[in-house]
Amino acid sequence: VANRMSDPPQEVVTLAGKYCESGDVLIHDIELPVLETGDIIAIPASGAYVPSMASNYNLNPRPAIVMVSDGSARLIRRRESYADLMAMDVM
């Protein structure tokens, strides 16, 4: 949990992605603090969730990309909107 790195683990969880697929599991059996709304989960190797592999499968917009360096964060790609997803449709 990137925003609470000093919090001790309290439970063993499996982190799954947002796609409705049985294989969309990011990590099995990881010890984490109890997660709260707004927590930031940092996953350095995230397969199809990286920009080069990202898709709009199931009409899911791609997430924003934030670059973190020397203790500061900067938005380098905005989150896709549903308007972005529909922009190429002509009907």
Catalytic residues, which ones? 20
Instruction: Please list the alpha-helical segments (H only) found in 1-91.
Output: 82-86
Please tell me what DSSP assigns to residue 78.
Answer: P
Whether residue 43 contacts residue 5, with contact meaning beta carbons closer than 8 Å, is answered with no
